[in-house]
Chain A
């Protein structure tokens, strides 16, 4: 390890350029100069990520951009294992983190990288920050998990749909209720599932707030109406795509 780094000793490598690996990357998959763009939409449950992504996709496709969506825990390889492990509560915090990282690696290599190579706009419903936030709440070593995700690609844009604790709790209860993991019951914060749920969601929001600073998220107030948020997203994405050299498809009609 070199000591010449100018980064602060903790929470190191992350300041990668958009479209490049955060750290050591995947040596056998060089990704320099790929024309695609990676846009991540982050946020806790109940902020309307998937609605916003669906609307963004339509808007982008009308303009002639190729769009691919990807999510968190959706890889063919890992989905059954993660579901099984969650159902049987056999996950400890390390295996929890590693299973999700494996899932991400699978999607990165098989969906995201090929799409970036082919010039698509990749809309990612959650990204590595979800893993960093959850691991942060669980007390996983911060530098270790950042090294682990050093094979991730820094997105061109990260939007964080932010809500307050009270709104978050109501929305989660309304939509699908509490479950074991989303209530952080593995953290043994207490026997009362509601109190545990609340403490967990509060801690999660704190982690996201710290990540927003660390990675320079574009923060949007997710308590506003769907179309207001969508307009804001479109304005910022259009601004990005209209910058010189940023249009992902070289052969687009003028």
Chain B
């Protein structure tokens, strides 16, 4: 599940997990930048605002590698459905928006498992800002792109930065064929589309299994 902050992807992922579990599918969830390994460095770097676009990128890749080996590959091997709140496309979009070489960051993540389905919740910046402000989320330094020095005003900086991130996501949609869901629709509406996408995919897999059995 991909999308900028305030795109509603976490809400959608939660609803999807409920539905899949209720249908008897074992589900495992994993979240971007959540491994204990790099937490100390990320926190220290963020606190001092000491991260450069390159170290920011590499720390997130380290986090990803750690989660891939402990939280993504084992549940996949065990036949579970892994729901990832952000995946490599987040790095492709954010790091490129910060000026890191696009080809480099794609090669960096070439060790990743290609997802069976990647959904992108496409959100206009104004919608995402409204949602974040309504939740009284304080825009954080790096999330707002304040490290880039484009604006000292957090909202203005967020707008500029996320604008670039959206452009990079658009590239990813084309390059990797992400399934796009218009995230300005209602929660229920989006979830319906989301479930349809997932169920199509599960049906395809079920058919494959039947084919295998009959062969």
Q: How far is the CB of A109 from chain B (nearest CB, A)?
A: 5
Task: Indicate if A77 sits at the interface (CB-CB under 8 A).
Answer: yes
Residues of A within 8 Å of B45, CB to CB, are: 77
**Given the known A-B contacts A94-B65, A109-B52, are A81 and B104 also in contact in the complex, defined by CB atoms under 8 Å?**
no
Contact of A102 among B62, B69, B100, B110 (CB under 8 A): B62
Q: When each residue 103-144 of chain B gets 1 if its CB lies under 8 Å from chain A and 0 otherwise, what string results?
A: 110011011000000000000000000000000000000000
Which residue of B has the minimal Cβ distance to A26? B54
Within the assembled complex, what's the spacing in Å between the Cα atoms of A94 and B112? 11
Within the assembled complex, what's the spacing in Å between the Cα atoms of A94 and B64? 10
Task: Indicate if B53 sits at the interface (CB-CB under 8 A).
Answer: yes
**Given the known A-B contacts A81-B41, A95-B65, A98-B61, are A23 and B104 also in contact in the complex, defined by CB atoms under 8 Å?**
yes
Residues of B within 8 Å of A108, CB to CB, are: 54
**Given the known A-B contacts A92-B69, A94-B65, are A150 and B37 also in contact in the complex, defined by CB atoms under 8 Å?**
no
Q: Are A85 and B65 in contact (CB under 8 A)?
A: no
Q: How far is the CB of B38 from chain A (nearest CB, A)?
A: 7
Task: Indicate if A84 sits at the interface (CB-CB under 8 A).
Answer: yes
Q: When each residue 95-106 of chain B gets 1 if its CB lies under 8 Å from chain A and 0 otherwise, what string results?
A: 000111101100
Within the assembled complex, what's the spacing in Å between the Cα atoms of A92 and B65? 9
Task: Indicate if A27 sits at the interface (CB-CB under 8 A).
Answer: yes
Number of A-B contacts (CB under 8 A): 83
Contact of A95 among B53, B62, B98 (CB under 8 A): B62
Residues of B within 8 Å of A109, CB to CB, are: 52, 54-55
Q: Are B40 and A80 in contact (CB under 8 A)?
A: yes
Task: Indicate if A78 sits at the interface (CB-CB under 8 A).
Answer: yes
Contact of B44 among A23, A25, A80, A85 (CB under 8 A): A80
Contact of B37 among A90, A141, A144 (CB under 8 A): A90
**Given the known A-B contacts A28-B99, A144-B110, are A98 and B62 also in contact in the complex, defined by CB atoms under 8 Å?**
yes
Contact of B54 among A84, A92, A151 (CB under 8 A): A151
Within 8 A of B (CB), among A131-151: 141, 144, 147-148, 150-151
Q: Are A78 and B52 in contact (CB under 8 A)?
A: no
Q: Are B101 and A24 in contact (CB under 8 A)?
A: yes
Q: Are A98 and B58 in contact (CB under 8 A)?
A: yes
Within the assembled complex, what's the spacing in Å between the Cα atoms of A98 and B38? 11
Task: Indicate if B173 sits at the interface (CB-CB under 8 A).
Answer: no
Q: Are B104 and A99 in contact (CB under 8 A)?
A: no
**Given the known A-B contacts A24-B103, A77-B44, A80-B44, are A106 and B55 also in contact in the complex, defined by CB atoms under 8 Å?**
yes
**Given the known A-B contacts A102-B59, A109-B54, A144-B110, are A81 and B40 also in contact in the complex, defined by CB atoms under 8 Å?**
yes
Task: Indicate if A101 sits at the interface (CB-CB under 8 A).
Answer: yes
Given A28-B99, A150-B107, 13 more pairs with CB closer than 8 A: A24-B104, A26-B101, A28-B100, A77-B55, A84-B40, A85-B37, A98-B58, A99-B38, A102-B41, A105-B55, A106-B55, A109-B52, A150-B104
Can you give 29 contacting A-B residue pairs, CB < 8 Å?
A23-B104, A24-B101, A25-B101, A27-B99, A27-B101, A28-B53, A28-B98, A28-B99, A77-B45, A77-B50, A77-B55, A80-B40, A80-B44, A81-B38, A92-B65, A92-B66, A95-B62, A95-B66, A95-B69, A98-B62, A99-B38, A102-B41, A102-B59, A102-B62, A109-B54, A110-B52, A144-B111, A147-B110, A150-B107
